[in-house]
């Protein structure tokens, strides 16, 4: 299929921060290739004259007034963090 | 060969709202870590973002103040990347449909002298879009600590065209942009609190070349002076590379304002691939004329417009107006005091405000809003001086007491015995005789019919009287003696 040849599985895996085994790469290449193929079919539909839209529902301006509500207590906010220190989430050292 | 620098700035400005951009937990600075979070900020499963109306108002207002076109419809996109500052692994931003397009920032370059207005020009903008700020990382020896208080704060990104050519222009641009945002109440723009952040794209090219050279992005410019210094440094660095026969490498560099040195940040393993796509959780924004015109009516006069008006309407000199426009409240204070003082006295009001009140405020480490001298009292002081009731040196004493107590100048004059008390009539007559004798030129002019020449005698008389003579009595005595 044309679509799967455009798929660079190493690039996609790196973007997703996934370490894949050769078997997984082959398997996901095939699955993602099918997805791309499907999208490719959708891409063939003639949409000339159809208004572009960001959403299926014609609804705009869904908002709240700027009135703060209570947030989470810090211990609740951090309860899923595997490591924490000084009320902050500890992560491996990162430098952009 | 002559080279010119080309500079474009990307400025992030935090919008001053009470709650966050897409959820209603409070936004704020200086709180205990991770106390401003909720399930949306933490990207817990199943949450949905909801826009903050006030943030939209603010960015549209900013766009109107800067002369941008406001998009009739715009949408939200997800910018994907993995980094611990964003718990969602994407940032909600605007990719191909920013809310504001075009526009520009009026800047003033340094003039030939401090008291001469410099050249004004307009730096065009590409766009302004709205997005959400990310969390803050604190780096330690072996790990990094994440605080999500800042995550989700409404953030505007203001992108200029690559249209500046010197560090001075970039400095003037940021100064003007910041003043405009503060005037509009859109942000406090405190760089120390990260409310305004700036990245610069810098390249050089031979003069006359129209294509852009290879650009270097300068990051972490965390004060307006560092922006100027960092850009000047980078232009010099690029020119030196070219002079050595080298080529500029596209990279991101970090400028350390303390040491004045920049270094290349570790090059990214690959170009950014953010895979933007429309956020399916958010509906588009539609801005109609009614909304725009309501916000337009809330836009304040821009700082440079105000300066031009102060100069023409009140005849206040450039130097004074340059100070008056630094702060919107200061300009408001000036206008009120000038109005109360009446025609022809605005310049004196401006002088007292800029030279004396601001100095005292600085010494006392307070601010204009808390200063006890209010516009009415400053106007009264100016009127007492202009009418000759107070001499300049007495006025300084009175002003110091006004600043300390907040009392009106009249009350202070009365209490301190500084009132223009009729001195002994004989003494006054002697002072007047001395003044006339001491100025034969004015005497001749007065005798020749020049009525205003009489004023030349009043200063010495007031001085002899230490400012305490009644001006009417002085005038009458002089006229009697001159008759």
Residue carrying the six token digits 């001195």: B423
**What is B133-180 written as a DSSP string?**
---EEEE-SSEEEEE-SSTT-EEEEEEE-S-B-SHHHHHHHHHHHHHH
Question: How do the domains of chain A map onto residue ranges?
Answer: 1-45
Of A17-21, B294-298, B348-352, B415-419, where does mean pLDDT reach its minimum? B415-419
Closest to A69 (Cα-Cα) out of B25, B17, B157, B378: B25
In this prediction the ipTM stands at 0.86
Closest to B11 (Cα-Cα) out of B122, B105, B112: B105
The pLDDT-based confidence of B271 (bands split at 50, 70, 90) is low
Does the pLDDT at position A53 exceed 80? Answer: no
Q: Is the dihedral of CA A95, A96, B5, B9 positive or negative?
A: negative
Per-residue pLDDT tens for B398-457?
999 999 999 999 889 888 877 655 557 788 888 899 999 999 999 999 999 888 889 889
* Structural Rg of chain A based on CA atoms: 22
- Asked whether the beta carbons of residue B18 and residue A67 sit closer than 8 angstroms, the reply is yes
Where, residue-wise, is CATH 1.10.10.410 in chain B? Answer: 425-482
Cβ atoms within 10 Å, residue B379: 23
Distance CA B311, CA B317 (A): 6
Q: Between chain A and chain B, how many beta carbons pairs sit less than 8 Å apart? A: 138
Distance of CA B62 to the CA centre of its chain: 15
Q: Which distant-in-sequence residues (6+ apart) come within 8 Å of B112 by Cβ?
A: B118
Does the pLDDT at position B120 exceed 90? Answer: yes
3-class SS at B366? coil
- Asked whether the beta carbons of residue A11 and residue B146 sit closer than 8 angstroms, the reply is no
State which residue of chain A sits closest to B58, comparing Cα positions.
A66
Q: What per-residue confidence (pLDDT) applies to B265?
A: 80
- On chain B, the residues whose CB falls within 8 A of the CB of A14 are 269-270
- On chain A, the residues whose CB falls within 8 A of the CB of B145 are 85-86, 88-91
A contact test, residue of B25, B42, B58 with most A CBs within 10 A: B42
Distance CA B353, CA B360 (A): 10
Distance CA B4, CA B289 (A): 42
> What average pLDDT does the structure give for chain B?
92
Q: What per-residue confidence (pLDDT) applies to B33?
A: 98
Per the structure block, which two tokens stand in for B265? 């940040």
3-class SS at B313? helix
Specify whether the CB–CB gap between B155 and B59 falls below 8 A: no
Which B residues 104-143 touch A at CB under 8 Å?
137-143
Distance of CA B331 to the CA centre of its chain: 11
State which residue of chain A sits closest to B283, comparing Cα positions.
A60
Q: Judge: domain A1-45, CATH 1.10.20.
A: yes
Distance CA B70, CA B47 (A): 30
Q: How is residue B325 annotated by DSSP?
A: T
Q: What per-residue confidence (pLDDT) applies to B302?
A: 97
Per-residue pLDDT tens for B47-84?
999 999 999 999 999 999 999 999 999 999 999 988 89
- Asked whether the beta carbons of residue A92 and residue B143 sit closer than 8 angstroms, the reply is yes
3-class SS at B412? helix
- Look at phi and psi of residue B69 and say left if phi exceeds 0, alpha if psi is from -120 to 50, else beta: beta
Q: What per-residue confidence (pLDDT) applies to A4?
A: 45
Distance CA B403, CA B225 (A): 33
Distance CA A89, CA A84 (A): 4
Looking at beta carbons, which pairs linking B440-445 to residues 24 or more positions away fall under 8 Å?
Answer: B443/B482
For chain A, the first-to-last Cα distance in angstroms comes to 38
Rounded to the nearest 10 degrees, the angle between the axes of helix B425-437 and helix B455-464 is 130
> What average pLDDT does the structure give for chain A?
89
Specify whether the CB–CB gap between A37 and A45 falls below 8 A: no
- Asked whether the beta carbons of residue B82 and residue A74 sit closer than 8 angstroms, the reply is no
**Angle, CA B360 vertex, CA B359 and CA B361 arms, to 5°:** 90
Question: What mean pLDDT is predicted for residues B269-289?
Answer: 86
Q: Which fold has domain B425-482?
A: Arc Repressor Mutant, subunit A (1.10.10)
Q: Which distant-in-sequence residues (6+ apart) come within 8 Å of A2 by Cβ?
A: A37, A40
Does the pLDDT at position B254 exceed 80? Answer: yes
Does the pLDDT at position B269 exceed 50? Answer: no
Specify whether the CB–CB gap between B183 and B303 falls below 8 A: yes
Total residue length of chain A? 96
């Amino acid at each position: 299929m044309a679509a799967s040849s455009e798929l660079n599985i190493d690039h996609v895996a790196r973007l997703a921060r996934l370490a894949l085994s050769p078997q997984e790469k082959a398997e996901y290449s095939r699955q993602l290739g099918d997805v791309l193929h499907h999208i490719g079919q959708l891409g063939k539909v003639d949409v000339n004259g159809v208004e572009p839209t960001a959403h299926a529902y014609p609804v705009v301006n869904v908002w709240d007034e700027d009135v703060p509500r209570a947030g989470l207590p810090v211990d609740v906010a951090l309860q899923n963090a595997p490591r924490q220190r000084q009320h902050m989430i500890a992560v491996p050292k990162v430098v952009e | 060969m002559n080279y010119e620098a080309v500079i474009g700035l990307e400025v992030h400005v935090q919008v001053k709202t009470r709650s966050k951009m897409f959820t209603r937990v409070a936004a704020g600075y200086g709180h205990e870590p991770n106390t401003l979070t909720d399930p949306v900020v933490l990207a817990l499963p199943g949450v949905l973002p909801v826009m903050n109306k006030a943030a939209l108002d603010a960015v549209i207002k900013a766009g109107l103040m800067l002369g941008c076109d406001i998009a009739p419809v715009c949408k939200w996109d997800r910018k994907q990347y993995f980094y611990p500052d964003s718990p969602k692994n994407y940032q909600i931003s605007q990719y191909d449909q920013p809310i504001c397009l075009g526009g520009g920032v009026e800047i003033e370059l340094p003039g030939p002298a401090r008291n001469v207005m410099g050249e004004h020009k307009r730096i065009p903008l590409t766009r302004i879009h709205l997005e959400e700020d990310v969390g803050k990382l604190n780096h330690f020896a072996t790990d990094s600590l994440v605080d999500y208080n800042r995550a989700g704060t409404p953030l505007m990104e203001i992108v200029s065209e690559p249209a500046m050519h010197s560090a001075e222009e970039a400095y003037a641009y940021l100064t003007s942009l910041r003043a405009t945002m503060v005037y509009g109440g859109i942000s406090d723009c405190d760089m120390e609190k990260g409310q305004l952040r700036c990245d610069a794209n810098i390249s050089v090219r031979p003069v006359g070349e129209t294509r852009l050279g290879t650009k270097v992005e300068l990051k972490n410019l965390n004060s307006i002076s560092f922006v100027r210094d960092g850009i000047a440094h980078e232009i010099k660095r690029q020119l030196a590379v070219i002079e050595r026969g080298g080529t500029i490498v596209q990279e991101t560099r970090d400028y350390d304002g303390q040491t004045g040195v920049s270094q290349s940040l570790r090059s990214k393993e690959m170009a950014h691939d953010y895979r933007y796509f429309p956020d399916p959780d958010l509906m588009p924004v539609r801005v109609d004329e009614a909304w725009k015109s309501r916000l337009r009516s809330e836009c304040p006069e821009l700082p440079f417009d105000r300066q031009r008006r102060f100069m023409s309407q009140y005849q206040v000199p450039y130097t004074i107006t340059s100070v008056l426009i630094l702060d919107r409240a200061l300009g408001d204070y000036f206008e009120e005091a000038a109005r109360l003082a009446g025609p022809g006295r605005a310049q004196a009001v401006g002088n007292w405000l800029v030279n004396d009140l601001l100095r005292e405020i600085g010494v006392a480490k307070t601010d204009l809003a808390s200063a006890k001298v209010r516009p009415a009292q400053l106007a009264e002081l100016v009127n007492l001086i202009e009418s000759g009731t107070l001499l300049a040196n007495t006025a300084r004493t009175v002003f110091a007491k006004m600043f300390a107590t907040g009392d009106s100048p009249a009350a202070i004059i009365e209490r301190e015995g500084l009132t223009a008390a009729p001195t002994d009539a004989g003494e006054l007559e002697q002072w007047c005789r001395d003044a006339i004798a001491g100025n034969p030129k004015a005497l001749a002019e007065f005798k020749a019919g020049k009525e205003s020449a009489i004023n030349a005698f009043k200063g010495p008389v007031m001085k002899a009287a230490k400012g305490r003579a009644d001006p009417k009595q002085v005038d009458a005595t002089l006229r009697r003696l001159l008759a």
